[in-house]
Structure 1
Amino acid sequence: MNAARILALDFDGVICDGMAEYWQTAWRTYTQVWQLDRLEPSPGVAERFRELRPLIEVGWEMPVLIRALSLGISPERMQSSWQKIRDRILADGRLSGVKVSQQLDSVRDSWIQQDPAGWLRLHQFYPGVIDTLKELPSRKIQPIIITTKESRFVTQLLKEQGVELASEFIWGKELKRSKIDSLKQILDRGAKKSPAVWFVEDRLSTLSKIATQPELESVKLYLADWGYNTVAEREAALQQSRIHTLTLAELPTLGGTPKKAATVSKGEPVEVDV
């Protein structure tokens, strides 16, 4: 039982529900990138954006999704061909994902500087998740957050909830590393300790790609059924032997049932070579 125990977690759609903030940030970015005078969305756009949020893999795609909706592209077409539509919109606007991403982060940074309380209020943490994060160290499990969000935003949100996770355990967009490569790095760095690794993600496509990697065969994969995914995706996950669906109530039991509910706001990090 000397093996390191690591719970790797996606952030958006697993730990935090930031849908209200996503919409506001995406809309502000959209109006700036496409230089719009109109500052209010058309009726129904916000609702369709929320319904199509499971399509988004990386944050910069959000304002592009709003652009697709404004062009009248149907949700059905986007469901079947999102990446092609996304790339065409970028090409038509002579844009790149990097440029849109920089604008998105700039919008967030300005918002946080001008109205930090308002920005924080738009984020809701899923019930019990914060308690689970606080309680993991007492169970000798090290949480590692692997996210496409900038780690500084994650750090700020967690700190507001009383979770102070060291920067070495928050792997954000700035590392420019895929989730596949991040999991491989966890295994490589912990090779001497034969780490037991669980990974919780709300995107089925991401988990399906990970499941094809022979090097990651030992990683236990879980689809968070409370996150940004659809009924069809959850049903499809049941057909994949490597992927297990996970309910919010089951999250605290990964790695063994906790002794009691979390009461500690801070914990010493588990010694893990990652």
Structure 2
Amino acid sequence: MNAARILALDFDGVLCDGMAEYWQTAWRTYTQVWQLDRLEPSPGVAEKFRELRPLIEVGWEMPVLIRALTLGISTDRMLSSWQRIRDRILADSRLSGVKVSQQLDTVRDNWIQQDPASWLGLHQFYPGVIEMLQELPNRKIQPIIITTKESRFVTQLLQDNGVELSSEFIWGKELKRSKTDSLKQLLDRGSKKAPAIWFVEDRLNTLAKVATQPELESVKLYLADWGYNTAAEREAALQQSRIQILSLADLPTLGGNPKKATVAGSKGDLSAVEM
């Protein structure tokens, strides 16, 4: 890769809305991990799961969130202390994030093998995203997807929508690397001139971590207001000088200079671009 301009993109909540799949996969995983195979979700659990989805940083937390909901832990408690609650549930159940993650991936893999059409059908790319990805090579911009999802799932979804992106440019969970470290790697490739990088993410905490790194000062940071974040998080982002709020309509214009949005904002072959 020798691109002078890089558009680094989160996947879930930036490019793709997979909420329906998250719920189905998380519920199946939950019933298997806690050995409740015949259990049906109680009324309102799915809706609460969707409401609290912005708490989730990595996929294995989703079945744990369902566990918290079925235990009757309140929304307010989870909003204020999610990580502590998550860790307590794992400890009480004698589980690890690794074990839950492995089961989650197994559920997805089995589903894709047995009924790929139904799995793919539960994902919706946000309007204009596929067209943008197909157009980026013409603008001499290299997309890099940096995600906590396994890259093979991302590849499958992109291919099903007519986008061919080399595995070199899909950095998934299997790399075991934080997004901060991934951005540092993009900047430090031994070239004489560092590339210009725009990073779009729907998690404020992730962007805030990047903003604390002096080595990443040149990276332009954007919070996707259509993704899995809350009005309070968008309000907080307005107070951070490094982070701009980005609307979905402005996403294809990156490379320019989108203005700060208001808190009321609504929720082809892409091989390396040589400069």
TM-score by length of 1: 0.94
Residue 271 of structure 1 corresponds to which residue in structure 2? 274
Segments of structure 2 that go 5 or more residues without pairing to the other structure are: 258-267
Residue 108 of structure 1 corresponds to which residue in structure 2? 108
Which stretches of structure 1, 4 residues or more, deviate above 4 A after TM superposition? Answer: none
Segments of structure 1 that go 5 or more residues without pairing to the other structure are: 258-264
Residue 178 of structure 1 corresponds to which residue in structure 2? 178
Equivalent runs, 1:1-274 vs 2, <5 Å: 4-189=4-189, 191-256=191-256, 265-271=268-274
**What residue identity is the alignment partner of 1:14?**
V
Task: Give the secondary-structure state (helix, strand or coil) at the position aligned to 2:95.
Answer: coil
In structure 1, what is the Cα distance between the partners aligned to 2:134 and 2:173? Answer: 24
Task: Give the secondary-structure state (helix, strand or coil) at the position aligned to 1:131.
Answer: helix
Task: Give the secondary-structure state (helix, strand or coil) at the position aligned to 2:218.
Answer: coil
Residue 262 of structure 1 corresponds to which residue in structure 2? none
Preserved CA contact (<8 Å) 2:200 2:222? yes
Preserved CA contact (<8 Å) 1:143 1:169? yes
The alpha-carbon deviation at position 3 of structure 1 amounts to 7.2
Preserved CA contact (<8 Å) 1:4 1:190? no
In structure 2, what is the Cα distance between the partners aligned to 1:49 and 1:268? Answer: 37
Count of aligned positions: 264
Change in Cα spacing, 1:175 to 1:3, as seen in structure 2 (3 Å) is closer
Q: Deviations over 1:195-231 (max 9, x none)?
A: 0000000000110111000010000000000000001
The alpha-carbon deviation at position 267 of structure 1 amounts to 4.6
Preserved CA contact (<8 Å) 2:6 2:195? yes
Change in Cα spacing, 1:268 to 1:94, as seen in structure 2 (3 Å) is closer
The alpha-carbon deviation at position 194 of structure 1 amounts to 1.8
Change in Cα spacing, 1:121 to 1:192, as seen in structure 2 (3 Å) is same
In structure 1, what is the Cα distance between the partners aligned to 2:117 and 2:197? Answer: 35
In structure 1, what is the Cα distance between the partners aligned to 2:203 and 2:270? Answer: 29
In structure 2, what is the Cα distance between the partners aligned to 1:63 and 1:267? Answer: 34
Change in Cα spacing, 1:53 to 1:220, as seen in structure 2 (3 Å) is same
CA RMSD of aligned residues (A): 1.4
**What residue identity is the alignment partner of 1:54?**
P
In structure 1, what is the Cα distance between the partners aligned to 2:203 and 2:209? Answer: 10
